[in-house]
Amino acid sequence: MPLLVLTVICLVVSGALAFMNNVTHPVITLAAAERAEAAMNAKIPDATGFEKIEFIDGDGIPETIVEIYSTTNGVGHVLIAAVNGFSGDITIICGVDPDGRLIGASTLSHTETKGIGTILEMPVFLDTFKGKDSGLEGVDTVTGATISTRAFIRAINDVFDAYEKIRS
């Protein structure tokens, strides 16, 4: 008898969770799309719209590149990359102008150590990337967060590699 009661409870709870997932999934998906659109607009404010560029593994795009968008008015590209940091994934978004210079870069999400990993969100670090080309002259890791900042810089390098592939 207790086994039957537990089975019924599990089925009811599973059904309730499935129902809630079906109800909330479209709302969560829409909110994520709105956040992504806002992040892209923040990277390239002059853009009138964005078109997703489809790519496959054989295109030579680094595997860390998650998504690539082209602006509809030709003022640049937005690239999203995900790399492994010290404590987990770091997802960044970059705007690149037609001359191959970074308009800006920012962290979308990370699971780095609190306090140390927050450098990935701070203007003092992020502003060093503005206007840089693939040489990243003057950009260096930050002491105390070397692994995290090295991963961020690696992601930026992958963004430039991908940009060169789609640009030609």
Q: How confident is the model at residue 158 (pLDDT cuts 50, 70, 90)?
A: very high
List Cβ neighbours of 45 (8 Å cut-off, separation of 6 or more).
none
Average pLDDT, the chain: 87
Alpha helices in 46-168 (DSSP H): 123-126, 146-167
C-alpha span between 71 and 98 (Å, rounded) = 10
Choose from 57-61, 139-143, 152-156 the range with maximum mean pLDDT: 152-156
Determine the average pLDDT of the residues in 20-30. 87
pLDDT at residue 85 in the model:
85
Indicate the domain borders of the chain. 44-167
Query: What pLDDT does 39 receive?
Result: 83
pTM: 0.77
C-alpha to C-alpha distance for 167 and 17, rounded to whole angstroms:
45
Over residues 82-133, the pLDDT tens digits come to 998 888 888 999 999 999 999 989 888 887 778 777 778 888 888 888 888 8
Q: State how far the Cα of 162 lies from the Cα of 79, in Å rounded to an integer.
A: 8
Q: Mapping DSSP to helix (H, G, I), strand (E, B) and coil, where does residue 74 land?
A: coil
Instruction: Please state, in angstroms and rounded to a whole number, the distance separating the CA atoms of residues 88 and 133.
Output: 27
Is residue 16 pLDDT above 90, yes or no?
Answer: yes
Whole-angstrom distance, CA of residue 65 vs CA of residue 52: 13
